[in-house]
Copies of this chain bind each other. A is one copy, B any other.
Amino acid sequence: MAQVVADRRDVDFVLHEQLKVEQLSKHELFEDFNKKTIDLVVSEARNLAIKELLTCQKEADEQGCNFKSGTVTVPEVFHKVYALFREGEWIAMCDDPDWGGQGMPSVVALAANNYFNGANFPFMLHNILNHGAGKLVERFGTEKQKALFLKNMYTGIWGGSMLLTEPEAGSDVGALTTKAVKNGDGTYAITGNKIFISSGENDLVENIIHPVLARIEGAPEGTAGISLFLVPKIRVNDDSTLGEFNDVVCTGIEEKMGIHGSPTCSMALGGKGQCIGTLLGKENKGMSAMFVMMNEARLHVGMQGFSCASASYMNAVNYARTRVQGKHLQATDRNAPPVPIIQHPDIRRMLLTMKSYSEGMRSILFYIGLLEDKVKLSEDDSDRTRYQGLIDVLIPVAKGYVTDRAFEMCSHGVQVFGGYGFTKEYLQEQLLRDCKITQIYEGTNGIQAMDLLGRKLGLNKGKAFNDLLDEIRKIIDTAKGIGNLKSFALTLDKTVDKLEEVAQNIGKTAKSETIMTAFANATPFLDVTGDTIMAWMLLWRAVLATEKLDGNPKKKDIEFYEGQLKSAQFFMNTVLPVSRGKMDMILSNDSAVIDISEAAFGGK
């Protein structure tokens, strides 16, 4: 049977051959996760994803969510799937078993999430929000808050959300106006309005625990005066029983382009003056709490976008093998029979584009997961700083670059299906629509690009970015010594040198009077950084494939490894020349984007 959602051979390749994740089980923390267990986890996740999540993807999209006088119903079929998801304990895969987690390595959870998100990412949003809210409680909650909420959240009895955005505070979080006033008993009275709240209200769970960003009366303006509160939909008594309704009202849900299974709620807090919250963490430290969660959340969004692309690629390649249309281009006989479209050059170009990006994305996302695990395991401060620095530099790529490319891949995925791709008969169009949001939320990709240029490039005095280049060069050095990879290695070598030059140049410009010009190139800089990272991952894969091919692999493995070499070849010779063109462009520091007057944009 054809693979769907994600190519299991490739998932296993990254886990075991590229990243050798079973080595984590040498450490006490992950001792239960030997290769066998990891494979079992992936198989279970894959099973659940394909049998349950995938089969209701279209149905849920068509049914969508419904809003009626304050209540929100999710697609009916989600109730069954959610029960299975809870039963399998998939919500808190990497978290402390004491609180209902599974204690899994992050990298393994990412493999599971590749399947879950590729099969039904609108459904997964419920779980991700729930988990993220729980993580904030675990990280910043008092013992009492943890005891009251956490286990119920991690096991999915209760849900979670994140109340951040307001109509006038989107990318600019510091502009938020939701207010918190101290009550006599140490709690806070919360009033305000939030928008774009995924899972803010839904009928999957009996209670929803909302982390809420708000400003305590008298707090400083901007981000420095923002605190984080825990606001349950229904109050929770000290004995853990449910109390009264907490005046958190959903006032409507958005009609959207995609992710129809995920309700995007407008929320009114304290409309009747009855909304009570407790401080989560310290006063005015809400933003730093958010930043702690940011990497996880952004990595997750990257995984959502990538998983759409991964699923779209599987669908496209399977379709191209069976859809017969048109003669072979080299057929000499007028009456030559039509062939499967996978034999047509332009279809092959799209497929190999999708394949190579999918592989590069999978590798980099799983790699970041492994870095997270290594941070947890590090006993040495300098190791930990190094791993964390790599994560920090890579996050804007994992979120911004990956989702930008993922959207393009999903568009190719529609294109391979021709007219059928535009219809709802196939999943391709939904994957494209759903994928679009990943470029927007959790910080638009423009924000990601600013993050890379403005914060990450100079992180630890530039050491984090240099560590990244060092890692890339290690693989290049290895590949230089392998006959058939030498030219790829030299191509990437040239590209990395140029990226370094670009980074130094744009880094300086960003600190100069022409800072605006530098930031006009923030997105192109993210693009070329991402391209280089993709090429690194593909070269790494090619090194391993070459080694394996020198052994005595099985026929099916030969095909797979040869496919790795082709992905690398394609990327080095087809994508990188374009990237270097873009690097030339960045180096030229053209200022048209900044110099053009507002009036000259026209439209008035």
Contacts and interface: CB of A to CB of B under 8 A. Distances in A.
B446 A347 contact: yes
Interface stretch (A112-120, A269-277, A321-329): A321-329
A581 B170 CA distance: 37
A314 interface: yes
A569 B593 CA distance: 9
Interface stretch (A47-55, A206-214, A420-428): A420-428
Interface string A361-393: 000000000000000000000000000000000
Contacts of A221: 335
A599 B345 contact: no
A194 interface: no
Nearest to A444: B418
A479 interface: no
A321 B171 CA distance: 16
A593 B580 contact: no
A523 interface: yes
Interface residues of A, number: 112
Contacts of A254: 422-425
Contact of A429 (B256, B421, B584): B256
Interface centre among A411, A422, A450, by most chain B C-beta atoms within 10 angstroms, is: A422
Interface stretch (A81-89, A237-245, A513-521): A513-521
A593 B325 contact: no
A563 B602 contact: yes
A574 B566 contact: no
A584 B593 contact: no
Interface string A486-498: 0000000000000
B588 A352 contact: no
Contacts of A423: 254-257, 264
Contact of A602 (B10, B449, B517, B592): B10
A342 interface: yes
A563 B437 contact: no
Interface string A576-604: 01111110110010101111111111111
Interface string A126-142: 00000000000000000
Interface string A511-539: 00001110111110000000000000000
Given A325-B175, A573-B588, A597-B559, A422 B348 contact: no
Q: How many copies does the complex hold?
A: 2
A415 B171 CA distance: 12
A338 B175 CA distance: 9
Nearest to A454: B329
A285 interface: no
Interface string A12-38: 000000000000000000000000000
Contacts of A425: 254-255
Contacts of A578: 578, 581-582, 585
A603 B2 contact: yes
A218 interface: no
Most buried by B among A423, A573, A593: A593
A282 interface: no
B581 A593 contact: no
A419 interface: yes
A425 B256 CA distance: 8
CB-based closest 6 A-B pairs: A581-B581, A563-B600, A346-B446, A573-B590, A257-B429, A345-B519
30 contacts: A165-B419, A254-B422, A256-B422, A256-B429, A257-B432, A313-B603, A318-B603, A329-B515, A345-B516, A345-B519, A346-B446, A346-B449, A346-B523, A348-B593, A352-B601, A355-B602, A411-B439, A414-B436, A415-B439, A415-B445, A418-B440, A421-B440, A422-B440, A432-B436, A563-B597, A563-B599, A566-B595, A570-B596, A577-B581, A577-B588
